[in-house]
Amino acid sequence: MTMQKRITIEPHDILAIEYECTHCKCRHSVRIDAFRQTQMKCPVCNEDWIRGEYNGPERTDQTLPQFARYLTKLQSVANGATIRLVIDSPTLELSREPNA
């Protein structure tokens, strides 16, 4: 038997975007309503966090601020329907044991 846990969140449940450095494990959180620019490097060990294009229409450094703006807007416009984001969760495989 396979069971799947379905986790959903509503846009207004999202309060911040958190970075965690894969090198030193430093964590840095920025509130959605205060998010203005992408933190490109770890403030502790100076490891690159975000790599990519910094010129042109597909600027990587603008992806997270745009996401934060879209979330903020979504939090205020969805009043005629409930909108939920589905969070991926691992599928649990359960084996049935014979009754003893």
User: Distance from first CA to last CA of the chain, Å, rounded?
Assistant: 19
Task: List 27's β-bridge partners, or say none.
Answer: 20
Contact status, residue 3 vs residue 89, Cβ threshold 8 Å: no
Residue 29: is its pLDDT beyond 90? yes
Confidence of residue 7 (pLDDT cuts 50, 70, 90): confident
Where helices occur in 15-77 by DSSP H, the ranges are 63-77
32-82 pLDDT, tens per residue? 989 988 888 999 999 988 877 666 666 777 888 888 999 888 888 867 778
- Let me know if 87 is exposed, middle or buried by CB neighbors in 10 A (0-12, 13-18, 19+): exposed
Contact status, residue 30 vs residue 69, Cβ threshold 8 Å: no
**pTM for the complete prediction?**
0.67
Residue 25: is its pLDDT beyond 60? yes
The two structure tokens encoding residue 43: 């403030």
